[in-house]
Amino acid sequence: MLTDDQIQYLDQRCQMEGIRYYDLRIEIADHLATEVEAIMENNARIDFPALVDTVFERFEKNFLNMLTNEQIKTLDLFCQKKGIHYYDLRQEMVDHLAEGIEGQMTLDPQTGFDTALQRVYSAFGISGFSNVIRQREEATRKRSRKREHQYFKAWFTFPKIALSLLLFLLLSAPVSVFNVQNAAAIYKTYCIFLFAFAIFAIIFVGIRFKRPAQKLLSLKHTGGFTVFVGLFQVPNLYFNLAVNGFELDINHTPWFNLAMAAFCTLAILFTLARYHAYKAIYADARRQYPLVF
């Protein structure tokens, strides 16, 4: 991953090349950063400025010689007007449109930019980008949930399963082992602690993970609040189900202690899984679009 100084160098280089528009500069710098990182993975000792020169020259030959800065900016604004408000998806669509326009203009040099754009856009049908946006959102949601489930299942594999069992035993021990007569006090303590922890964690995530300057589709289905929403269900289980729902005598209902301990354990483990999934997705987004952060 590039350092902040290296990212700043890329941004300054883009400005020196006359790329004035901020959104366009971010897009091009991100493209350059991706190529530079890929090369540096195989040769970490390569001279960074010289590498940037090489990558930038290749980028100019393959892309900028066909479309001007203003035309690329026009594509970006065009995508925004058509409902693509996520920077990462918009970048993908700008590249797609640019490639199609270049193809049209290569086949027929007399074709103007606006004409080529309308031809390429018409290929998306009467619904325009709507289907693409919906498909990308669904795919992103599935990837996010899949990653969360992977982290959650990891808590039930060796050696992490030992920590999961230890957590369950610690939560069930006060009532069952020490024969606490007033179990309600223990459960209320759990509820208060987990509720306070969830609030603290939400604030921590908001501070720890800087909000990107532009909306990213990859982060849509994860976030500071949703990461810890599972913890809020613990008080809901106790007060609504046990106290107000079944009206259980929890001091003489041994199975409820196990159920409460299991639910608290699963809520904590799932919360940790969502946090690590969000952390990984955030790191991926920061690596792919460093100038947005």
Same domain for 151 and 40: no
User: What confidence score (pLDDT) does residue 231 get?
Assistant: 57
Q: Which amino acid is at 283?
A: A
Among residues 268, 264, 273, the alpha carbon closest in space to that of 189 is found at 264
Q: 99, 117, 135 — which closes off a domain?
A: 135
Count structural domains, the chain. Answer: 2
User: What confidence score (pLDDT) does residue 65 get?
Assistant: 47
Residues in the chain predicted with pLDDT less than 50, given as ranges, are 64-65
Same domain for 186 and 170: yes
Same domain for 156 and 281: yes
Tokens 């950063």 correspond to what residue? Answer: 33
Burial 82-108 (b: 16+ CB within 10 A, else e): bebebbbbbbbbbebbbebbbebbeee
Same domain for 149 and 118: no
| Cβ contact 234:103 at 8 Å | no
Alpha-carbon gap, residue 211 to 184, rounded angstroms: 40
Radius of gyration of the chain (CA): 26
Same domain for 124 and 83: yes
User: What confidence score (pLDDT) does residue 75 get?
Assistant: 94
- Helix, strand and coil content of the chain, in percent to the nearest 5, comes to 80, 0, 20
Tokens of 266: 């699963």
Same domain for 260 and 159: yes
Q: 65, 100, 135 — which closes off a domain?
A: 135
Same domain for 152 and 103: no
> Quick check: helix, strand or coil at residue 56?
helix
Question: 188 to each of 102, 174, 184, 242, 245, how far by Cα in Å?
Answer: 65, 13, 6, 12, 16
User: What confidence score (pLDDT) does residue 60 get?
Assistant: 66
Among residues 124, 107, 87, the alpha carbon closest in space to that of 292 is found at 87
Q: 287: domain range?
A: 139-292
